């Protein structure tokens, strides 16, 4: 997904146009590639005077429209933000444009101050709540000192372990020889019931292959 999306973005950026429109441009990209694509988008309109035939005049005529859900990338990418709200499959409303910080804050709050319009009954927050379950003993030596000593082992959340694994993707060359094109090595590890674990890494480093091995 990520490699194909980078190719599509590159093909679009190579074209000379007055308006560039991207829908969810960063959805399949890793963090590094999201930043690179963002910088390239901004270069279209902010540093274009050295790239376009008529210099700064052509650069001033160009603008970019992006549909984006990643608020961090949106903050880095945009000069202005327009929020959309409504009912899925029924109607939608596009707000007037506002500065990036104001637009993001309005979206999170669910309230458009300029129009005195509340389109969501609750705010979106990033407050993290401490877990309310106890973790069973494992071999990592990180037992909870505040754990209830009267708690029965059967009531505690278990630990799931996975062994050392290796996956090799091969390809056949023109002379009929099979060679390894990609090798993923997984060290043994574990995770606990009730946890959410995120895999981070650049595209093509084996995140999907690792999930397939676990499955």
Kindly report, residue by residue over 163-195, the tens digit of the pLDDT.
899 888 888 777 777 777 888 899 998 888 778
* Residue 156 pLDDT grade (very low, low, confident, very high; cuts 50, 70, 90): very low
Question: CA dist 141 to 150, 154, 161, 197, Å?
Answer: 20, 19, 15, 19
pLDDT at 45 over 80: no
Pick from 61-65, 75-79, 182-186: least confident: 61-65
List pLDDT tens digits, range 13-35. Answer: 888 888 899 988 888 888 888 88
pLDDT at 48 over 60: no
> How large is the average pLDDT for residues 99-115?
89
Taking Cα atoms as reference points, which of 201, 210, 197, 182 lies closest to residue 32? Answer: 201
So what's the pLDDT on residue 141? 47
DSSP state of 135: B
So what's the pLDDT on residue 47? 61
User: pTM of the predicted model, to two decimals?
Assistant: 0.57
> How large is the average pLDDT for residues 80-106?
89
Strand partners, 161: 190
pLDDT at 138 over 50: no
Taking Cα atoms as reference points, which of 83, 109, 76, 119 lies closest to residue 98? Answer: 83
pLDDT at 7 over 50: yes
C-alpha span between 24 and 14 (Å, rounded): 19
* Residue 144 pLDDT grade (very low, low, confident, very high; cuts 50, 70, 90): low
């Amino acid at each position: 997904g990520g490699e194909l999306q980078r190719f599509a973005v590159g093909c679009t950026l190579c074209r000379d146009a007055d308006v560039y429109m991207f829908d969810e441009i960063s959805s399949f990209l890793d963090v590094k590639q999201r930043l690179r694509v963002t910088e390239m988008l901004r270069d279209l309109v902010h540093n274009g005077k050295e790239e376009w035939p008529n210099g700064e005049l052509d650069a001033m005529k160009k603008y970019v429209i992006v549909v984006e859900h990643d608020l961090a990338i949106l903050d880095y990418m945009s000069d202005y933000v327009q929020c959309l709200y409504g009912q899925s499959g029924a109607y939608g409303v596009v707000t007037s444009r506002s500065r990036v910080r104001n637009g993001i804050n309005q979206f999170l709050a669910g309230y458009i101050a300029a129009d005195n319009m509340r389109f969501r009954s609750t705010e979106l927050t990033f407050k993290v709540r401490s877990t309310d379950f106890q973790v069973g003993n494992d071999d990592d030596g990180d037992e909870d000192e505040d754990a209830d000593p009267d708690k029965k082992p059967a009531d505690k959340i278990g630990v799931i372990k996975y062994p050392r694994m290796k996956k090799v993707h091969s390809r056949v060359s023109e002379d009929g020889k099979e060679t390894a094109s990609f090798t993923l090595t997984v060290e043994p590890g574990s995770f606990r019931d009730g946890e959410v674990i995120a895999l981070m890494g650049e595209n093509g480093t084996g995140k999907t292959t690792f999930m397939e091995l676990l499955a």
